[in-house]
Amino acid sequence: MGRKFSAAILIALLTTGTSLAKPVQTETIPLNPVEQLQTAPIPAEELSLPESELPLPETDTSETATDQDTDDLPQVLYDTAYLPKPVKRMHSQLREAALAGNMERIRMVLESNELPPTLSFGEIDDPIDFLKSSSGDGEGFEILAILADTLEAGFLHVDAGTPQEMYIWPYFARYPLFDLTPDQKVEMFRIVTAGDFAEMQDFGAWTFYRVGIGPDGTLHYFVAGD
């Protein structure tokens, strides 16, 4: 009886179009203000980095204070190809004679000048005897070693276009001693001792040996002192 009644009811429902299932009502839940902010699209003009993350403006570092100071320093040269031929010839003759340890070859180079070069700020008789007496070993070999090291250092071309134009070895003779870089100090200590350097800093100028050759190849001096 129960099954027949249930079937009859089902048939009646189907014929009348009534559904046994209750309609599901969907409820739209409004977003809270925080969720709206998180999901709302951001205008294009607001798509930018915060000020703290913006890249720093590019600065022109092409000329800094250090660069300006460097520009004021004399230009140090090393390539002897830069030298005029007469200067290069005199430089080569002096260096080869010094490295050979030959005082007589040094005499020939010195006598090739029209005027004797300055070897001392005082009066001297024979230049070779003076060089030997100035050398710690008494034979001149120490002074020849100093001459060779001096000529192998960097050099300066000073007073170009004037009667005082000169090529000077080593460049320390006309270079600010307090502006030397670490590698320049190593180069300098191949010629002088730390004690020599300290004395010259106190004096304010290079007082050790230096060589000066004019643009015509004349050896003007190989001298130490102030």
Tell me which of 5-14, 111-120, 121-130 is least confident: 5-14
Is 217 part of any domain? yes
Residue 58 lies in a domain: no
120 pLDDT band (50/70/90 cuts)? very high
- Confidence band for 113, pLDDT divided at 50, 70 and 90: confident
Instruction: Report if residue 25 sits inside a domain.
Output: no
Work out whether strand 166-169 and strand 156-158 pair parallel, antiparallel, or are unpaired.
Answer: antiparallel
Q: What pLDDT is stored for residue 115 in this prediction?
A: 86
Does residue 9 or residue 136 have the better pLDDT? 136
Q: What is the pLDDT of residue 43?
A: 54
pLDDT at 76 over 90: yes
Residue 190 lies in a domain: yes
17 part of a folded domain: no
Domain that holds residue 157: 75-223
Task: Provide the percentage of residues in the chain whose pLDDT is more than 70.
Answer: 69
CB atoms inside a 10 Å sphere around CB 145: 17
- Tell me if 165 is assigned to some domain: yes
Q: Which pLDDT does position 4 carry in this prediction? A: 47
Compute the mean pLDDT over every residue in the chain, rounded to the nearest whole number: 81
Percent of the chain past pLDDT 90, that is, above it, reads: 64
Q: How many domains, in total, are found in the chain?
A: 1
Interval 191-205 mean pLDDT = 95
pLDDT in tens, 5-63: 455 554 444 455 444 444 445 455 555 544 444 445 555 455 454 444 444 445 454 44
Is residue 120, in this structure, part of any structural domain at all?
yes
What's residue 101's pLDDT?
96
With tokens 């300006």, the residue in question is 68
Is 132 inside a domain boundary? Answer: yes
What pLDDT is recorded for position 114? Answer: 82
Does the structure show a pLDDT above 80 at 100?
yes
pLDDT score at 62: 45
Q: Evaluate if residue 199 carries a pLDDT over 60.
A: yes
Q: How far apart are CA 172 and CA 19, in angstroms?
A: 109
Identify the pLDDT of residue 163.
Answer: 93
